[in-house]
Amino acid sequence: MEIIKFPNLLPIMMDYEEWLKSKDLEYREGILYMAGVNTVDIAEKYGTPIYVINEDLIRKRYKTLKKELDSVYKNNQIHFAVKANSNLSVLKILKSQGAYFDCSSTGEIYACFKAGISSEKIIYTGNMFTNEDFKFAVENDILVNLDSISQLKRLSKVYEDLGKEKNLISFRINPEFGAGHHSHTITAGKDIKFGILDNQVIEAYSKAREYGFKKFGTHIHVGSGILDPNDFDKASEKYLTIVMKLADTLDIKFDFVDFGGGLGIPYRPKEVPLDLEEYKKVVIKRFKDLIEKVDMDQVDFKIEPGRYITAEASIILTQINTIKDNGYKLFAGVDAGFNTLIRPTMYGSYHHIIVCKKNSKEKTQKYDVVGPICESGDVFGKDRELPELFEGDYLAILDAGAYGFTMSSPYNSRPRPAEVLLNDQKSYLIRKAETFDDLLSHQEIPDHLK
């Protein structure tokens, strides 16, 4: 296979204002605007902390990616990874763009149905499936992407018990090469729980045939938050070698080949974004060149981005309640915490933090921006160089639209915040904030404690 190198990967520095603008953020007379809407007004109207989502940017990211795929290979589908953002309005926005969806649980499939998305647009890539998961999928005609050979027997039985015809099946393949922004998000490699290894693929697909499945797809997802096209290059080379081996050995004409998600975004100012041209070359173009040689030219090509589509389209607005100078360092204490956005605490992830209103002073200082959770790990950013801050000021935490709300929790009995959608210069409340009663509503007190 051709070895592709990346001579143009010398960092192309983006100017800071340009970087903000690429996320549809800008300062007008010292006030931060998102999608043309004043963020201080939003914070005051709805309260903080609050997630603010930019509809236009979600559409734009989807369209950019779709155009890139279409330019190389027409039979493609972009399945949005619902785990990144499962808000019904977000799902509806993507549905209206023509997106497909990747679900990792039956709860996510349920959310898709509530958003009016039909079964044939969904792939169910779970892992450690229960029989109830299979029943839900088969009853609702959802394509299952299996994670272990052992699951075939149970899935087959569910089809038989429900009297449904076995048709299309897929396996998640672990190409033994993974990448990602943190060890927790590297999802391939021999010691990783996901997928089936190369030496088991022939057995998996032969057995699927024996069990009566007639059509076949194949899938990988090697990790999340990947900015270096070399990683996609290695993964796709290994993956396509395995796909070709399967096609040759078992004489399978695959219905689809799914390359998963993983496309990273520039969380840090001036960070070099993923080079989509290179991604196209090593993933889609290579796939196209290969299948043209082997008479598989009707096969669908799928990808499953989550972060790339929604991460940059959302910010968290949070208010400073406490400026603490402990004589050693300065803390800016805000009303959002790792209950609102866990990525910095969980993965050490960088999320850029900016003021919603610039003050007239030139002076900047270093602050640790911290939340109200009773753990010292509740830190959004250490030693952040910010203009002088005051109690009552609003801050924006950027790039919170993927794995933000979906990973939030009511830890410390703090209700989850509201979500607001911006569209055409207007704001819409798309999720009410939880209340204390919401947090307690599922509890029951046994008689002897009443």
136-144, 302-310, 360-368, 392-400 -> range binding ligand LLP (CB under 6 A):
302-310
Residue appearing with tokens 């990967």:
9
What is the C-alpha separation between 209 and 171, in angstroms, rounded? 13
Minimum distance of ligand LLP from residue 9's CB (angstroms): 20
Nearer to ligand LLP, 33 or 101 (CB): 101
* Buried-state track 226-244, b at ≥16 Cβ within 10 A, e below 16: bbbbebbbbbbbbbbebbb
Is 101 within 8 Å of 122 (Cβ atoms)?
Answer: yes
77-85, 209-217, 247-255, 438-446 -> range binding ligand LLP (CB under 6 A):
77-85
Is 384 within 8 Å of 366 (Cβ atoms)?
Answer: yes
Helices (H), 392-441: 436-440
Exactly one of 103, 112, 356, 374 is catalytic; name it.
374
Q: Within positions 258 to 297, which residues make up the interface with ligand LLP, using CB under 6 A?
A: 260-263
For 116, the token pair is 């009016």
Q: Is 103 a catalytic residue?
A: no
Residue from 386, 395, 422 nearest 24 by CA: 422
Of 304, 335, 378, 419, which lies in the binding site for ligand LLP, with binding defined by CB under 6 A? 304
Q: Within positions 333 to 362, which residues make up the interface with ligand LLP, using CB under 6 A?
A: 343, 347
Nearer to ligand LLP, 402 or 420 (CB): 402
Q: Within positions 106 to 135, which residues make up the interface with ligand LLP, using CB under 6 A?
A: 125
Q: Which residue is nearest to ligand LLP (CB)?
A: 261
Nearer to ligand LLP, 347 or 350 (CB): 347
| 218 near ligand LLP, rule: CB under 6 A | no
* CB neighbour list of residue 175: distance below 8 Å, 6 or more residues apart: 188, 198, 220, 222, 235, 238, 239, 242
C-alpha distances (whole Å) from 146 to each of 94, 143, 330 are 25, 10, 50
Nearer to ligand LLP, 332 or 336 (CB): 336
Judge if the upstream peptide bond of residue 49 is cis by omega within 30 degrees of 0.
yes
**β-sheet with 31-34: strand ranges across:** 25-28, 31-34, 37-38
Is 352 within 8 Å of 399 (Cβ atoms)?
Answer: yes
Q: Within positions 170 to 209, which residues make up the interface with ligand LLP, using CB under 6 A?
A: 185, 187
Of 37, 81, 274, 353, which lies in the binding site for ligand LLP, with binding defined by CB under 6 A? 81
User: What is the pattern of x (binds ligand LLP, CB under 6 A) and - over residues 241-260?
Assistant: -------------------x
| 306 near ligand LLP, rule: CB under 6 A | yes
Residue from 249, 174, 241, 294 nearest 1 by CA: 241
Using DSSP bridges, classify how beta strands 31-34 and 50-54 pair: parallel, antiparallel or unpaired.
unpaired
Nearer to ligand LLP, 222 or 355 (CB): 222
Minimum distance of ligand LLP from residue 409's CB (angstroms): 13
Of 178, 195, 225, 387, which lies in the binding site for ligand LLP, with binding defined by CB under 6 A? 225
Q: Within positions 39 to 68, which residues make up the interface with ligand LLP, using CB under 6 A?
A: none
| 399 near ligand LLP, rule: CB under 6 A | no
Of 61, 95, 221, 384, which lies in the binding site for ligand LLP, with binding defined by CB under 6 A? 221
Minimum distance of ligand LLP from residue 322's CB (angstroms): 27
User: Given CA atoms 171, 177, 180, 183 in this order, what sign does their dihedral have?
Assistant: positive
Nearer to ligand LLP, 217 or 260 (CB): 260
Residue from 442, 400, 444, 418 nearest 50 by CA: 418
Nearer to ligand LLP, 312 or 393 (CB): 312
3-state secondary structure of 280: helix
Active site residues: 374
Binding site for ligand LLP (CB under 6 A): 81, 83-84, 102, 125, 185, 187, 221, 224-225, 260-263, 304-308, 343, 347, 402-403
